[in-house]
């Protein structure tokens, strides 16, 4: 700690920072300053604040941390969701443990063992309904002093007052740059709150009212179809149909009839068919995988874009079309032009305005809202219970790589929801994301779990070899006697 006189000054500055939250246009910046000052004043390892809708259900609404990596923040969420925060909020009192690893209330939590937590201080935000301020002590520093606990309690009380006076949605919106666009645009089909997504929405707001062709680019599975639907739903054509055709799924000989329709005699066995252009009259035609359209059909599509007219197959009559074209591709059309596989004039007609849908790697912060939206949607589609995803489940999703983007995530969530419902689970846990039909011993253990097992087995062997002479074991393992005793208790070892 600092000298007493300096500490009083730092405490006063800390309370002033809390007061700034009330007048700040968005609360996250001053709250970050509060957490940073709190860590410096208390000499804690890290700090974390969390606001809840229903703490007992783990309904985390908003959180912020200082000196935490993404992985460490998820570990803290796991700890708080499994007992610490629930106990603190339920009792309405400060919860302080000098050594979490040896505290029977928390020592069963896997993350407590993995992180080897020592001093933990958890203070409910009084009157703020409900929330918690969480601090971790430095390794080997011992428990938090009584004067430190008093300071943290005062800060938590002040934060509780700020939360009570401010609308929780304002706190969430402060971290969500997409909110200004969601208030004015119909974007319900696209979940997320990243800056990358906000930039896409900004472009949607610009181009949607204009009746021009749009080219949507982006990797496979990123949600280009949903983006095209959003452009349609925010255009002057929203009352008209939205027709979609996947150019890669139509055989080359049928693509023209699919697009423009056909009359009897167009080909053997042909009947009068309505093409997608006619079906989209007054609305929007979305051409997915536009790079796969054959060159012959590219010429007729170019005519449609240039003159707003087309011929149905075997028809001598030119038909007018009132339709807007949105095309999408994950291919490099400019390279295809050089290879003479895509018409340059068609590219320029389609590419009046280009929108790129970012991959999940470019908007990882959207994984949380995406998981929640997809679970609800999948549950409705399959008639299953919309199970709540635990913080651990969210953590695994946020840490995983998703080369197949939203499409791959959806398929994994679909399988997880089916597994969880089949076993009657109350919520979605991380193990539901994996195929458990294999022998559990075949699955690789986590690095932390493997390390813990190694330490436990090593300690047991050394204790048996030394006939439980703790001083000798401490000498062999280069540990203090007190540390060996703590390990024996933490691992639950007993002399046979």
Number of alpha carbons in the 13 Å side-chain half-sphere of residue 376: 8
Range of the structural domain that residue 216 is part of: 185-358
Same domain, 208 and 327: yes
Same domain, 402 and 418: yes
41 part of a folded domain: yes
Among the candidates 327, 358, 389, a domain finishes at 358
pLDDT of residue 122 exceeding 50, the answer is yes
440 contact partners, CB below 8 Å, separation of at least 6: none
pLDDT of residue 66 exceeding 90, the answer is no
Same domain, 457 and 429: no
Same domain, 151 and 209: no
Rounded CA separation 291/299 (Å): 13
Least confidently predicted of 108-112, 335-339, 401-405: 108-112
179 part of a folded domain: no
249 part of a folded domain: yes
Per the structure, how many domains does the chain have? 4
Rounded CA separation 267/45 (Å): 76
58 part of a folded domain: yes
Same domain, 58 and 147: yes
Same domain, 169 and 191: no
Same domain, 287 and 435: no
Among the candidates 174, 194, 209, a domain finishes at 174
pLDDT tens digits for range 143-180: 899 888 988 988 888 888 777 666 555 555 556 788 88
**Residue located via tokens 């430095």:** 138
Same domain, 365 and 352: no
Alpha-carbon dihedral sign for residues 165, 170, 174, 180: negative
pLDDT above 70 covers what percent of the chain? 77
> In degrees, to the nearest 5, what angle opens at C-alpha 310 toward C-alphas 308 and 314?
170
pLDDT tens digits for range 300-348: 999 999 999 998 887 788 889 999 999 999 999 999 999 999 999 999 9
Beta bridge partners of 269: none
Q: Return the pLDDT at 167.
A: 59
Q: Are 96 and 121 in contact (CB under 8 A)?
A: yes
Residue 330 phi, psi (nearest 5): -110, 10
pLDDT tens digits for range 258-315: 898 888 766 666 677 888 999 999 999 999 999 999 998 999 999 999 999 998 887 7
Same domain, 219 and 317: yes
Same domain, 435 and 482: no
CATH number for the domain spanning 419: value is 1.10.8.60
Among the candidates 174, 204, 219, a domain finishes at 174
The kind and range of the H/E element at 379 are: helix 367-382
With 0-12 CB in 10 A as exposed, 13-18 as middle and 19+ as buried, what is 288?
Answer: buried
The kind and range of the H/E element at 249 are: none
- The C-alpha R_g of the chain, in whole angstroms, comes to 30
384 part of a folded domain: yes
Same domain, 205 and 339: yes
Rounded CA separation 455/75 (Å): 21
Same domain, 17 and 129: yes
């Amino acid at each position: 700690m600092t000298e007493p006189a300096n500490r009083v000054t730092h405490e006063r500055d800390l309370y002033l920072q809390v007061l700034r939250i009330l007048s700040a246009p968005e609360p996250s910046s001053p709250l970050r300053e509060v957490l940073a000052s709190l860590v410096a004043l208390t000499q804690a390892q890290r700090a974390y604040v969390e606001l809840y809708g229903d703490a007992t259900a783990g309904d985390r609404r908003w959180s912020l941390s200082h000196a935490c990596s993404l992985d460490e923040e998820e570990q803290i969420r796991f700890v708080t969701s499994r007992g610490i925060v629930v106990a603190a909020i339920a009792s309405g009192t400060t919860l302080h443990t000098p050594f979490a690893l040896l505290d029977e209330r928390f020592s069963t939590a896997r993350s407590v063992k993995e992180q080897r937590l020592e001093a933990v201080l958890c203070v409910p935000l009084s009157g703020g309904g409900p929330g918690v301020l969480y601090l971790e002590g430095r390794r080997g520093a011992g428990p938090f002093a009584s004067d430190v606990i008093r300071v943290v309690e005062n800060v938590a009380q002040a934060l509780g007052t700020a939360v009570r006076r401010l609308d929780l949605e304002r706190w969430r919106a402060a971290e969500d740059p997409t909110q200004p666009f969601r208030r004015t645009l119909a974007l319900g089909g696209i979940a997320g709150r990243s800056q990358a997504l906000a930039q896409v929405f900004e472009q949607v707001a610009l181009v949607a009212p204009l009746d021009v062709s749009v080219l949507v680019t982006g990797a496979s599975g990123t949600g280009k179809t949903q983006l095209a639907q959003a452009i349609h739903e925010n255009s002057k054509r929203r009352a008209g149909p939205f027709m979609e055709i996947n150019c890669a799924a139509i055989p080359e000989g049928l693509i023209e009839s699919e697009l423009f329709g056909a009359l009897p005699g167009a080909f053997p066995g042909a009947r009068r068919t309505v093409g997608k252009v006619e079906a989209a009259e007054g609305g929007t035609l979305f051409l997915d995988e536009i790079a796969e359209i054959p060159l012959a059909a590219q010429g007729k599509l170019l005519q449609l874009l240039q003159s707003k007219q087309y011929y149905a197959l075997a028809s001598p009559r030119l038909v007018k079309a009132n339709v807007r074209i949105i095309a999408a591709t994950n291919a490099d059309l400019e390279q295809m032009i050089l290879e003479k596989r895509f018409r340059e004039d068609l590219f320029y007609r389609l590419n009046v305005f280009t929108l790129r849908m970012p991959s999940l790697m470019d908007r990882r912060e959207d994984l949380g809202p995406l998981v929640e939206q997809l679970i609800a949607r999948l549950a409705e589609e399959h008639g299953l219970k919309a199970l709540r995803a635990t913080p651990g489940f969210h953590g695994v999703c946020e840490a995983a790589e998703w080369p197949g983007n939203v499409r791959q995530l959806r398929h994994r969530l679909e399988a997880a929801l089916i597994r969880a419902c089949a076993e009657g689970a109350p919520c979605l846990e991380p193990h539901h994301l994996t195929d458990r039909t294999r022998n559990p011993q075949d699955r690789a253990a986590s690095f932390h779990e493997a390390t813990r097992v190694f330490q436990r087995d090593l300690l047991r062997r050394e204790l048996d070899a030394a006939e439980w002479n703790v001083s000798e074991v401490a000498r062999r393992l280069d540990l203090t006697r007190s540390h060996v005793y703590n390990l024996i208790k933490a691992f639950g070892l007993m002399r046979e």
